[in-house]
A = this chain, B = another copy of it.
Amino acid sequence: MKLPPRTVERLSKYRRLLRKYKTEAGDHIHSHSLADLLNISPEQVRRDMMLIGHTGNQRKGYSIDALISRIGGIIDGGFTQNIAVAGIGNLGRAVTTFVRKAETQLRIVAGFDTDPQKINTEVVGIPCYPISVLPDKIRELDISIAILTVPPDAAVEVTGMLLDSGIKGILNFTSVHLDVPGEVYLKDYDIVTSLEEIGFFTRQN
């Protein structure tokens, strides 16, 4: 199914909100209530539903269970995807713990680091391997996504290893600009740049 990134993002958020809403408010939801939860327009919700071919009941709205399962079919594609965390420092450990607590089909299955103290131990519940075995482990464990939390100096080299090992998507926390082929899906979480952007705009008001 072809969908724009923004729609996929909203589907993920709809699902999270629907899971919460269900325990609090009931079985069905109208597009305007779902829209309210995300501060978007009911038209936006209805457009997204049309894009994924989902229809509701005029009177009762969308069945929450049916919608959660429909979104799951699209976002998760019916199977678990494996993630590696490259760089098990403070940030790597914190992000790993955060993702493991979340309700998602994505699974962090391996960490990589160069610190002898961490290598071949379990760190925050996942096995930590030396960077040297990264290519083998990525293939062996069928890992398609990497979270990059290595120190800036190592970012380009480790990304090269990930790409050579066939990684398909990267969430980059390093603030280092990465040059990846078009078929690799890269998302940058550039914390300092985002804070500088926020700083700039807070001074405009």
Known: A17-B177, A81-B199, A199-B145. Is A194-B205 also a contact (CB below 8 A)? no
Closest Cβ–Cβ distance, residue A154 to chain B (whole Å): 14
A12 to B169, CA, bound (A): 24
A102 to B120, CA, bound (A): 30
Interfacial residues of chain A within 178-205, with CB under 8 A of chain B in the complex? 179, 183, 185, 187, 189-205
Q: Does A95 contact B (CB under 8 A)?
A: yes
For A13, the chain B residues whose CB sits under 8 A away are 177, 190, 193
Using a CB–CB distance below 8 Å, which chain A residues touch chain B?
2-3, 5, 8-9, 12-13, 16-17, 37-39, 74-77, 81, 83, 89-91, 93-95, 97-99, 102, 104-106, 144-145, 147, 168-171, 175, 177, 179, 183, 185, 187, 189-205
Known: A16-B175, A77-B200, A99-B192. 4 other contacts (CB 8 A): A12-B196, A77-B199, A90-B90, A90-B97
For A75, the chain B residues whose CB sits under 8 A away are 196, 199-200
Interchain CB contact (< 8 A) of A106 among B90, B94, B199: B199
Known: A99-B195, A189-B194. Is A168-B205 also a contact (CB below 8 A)? yes
A39 to B204, CA, bound (A): 29
Are B83's CB and A91's CB within 8 A? no
A189 to B95, CA, bound (A): 12
A119 to B32, CA, bound (A): 42
18 contacts between A and B (CB under 8 A): A5-B197, A9-B197, A12-B193, A12-B196, A13-B190, A17-B177, A37-B177, A75-B196, A77-B200, A77-B203, A90-B93, A93-B94, A99-B195, A106-B195, A145-B198, A169-B199, A169-B201, A169-B202
A204 to B182, CA, bound (A): 13
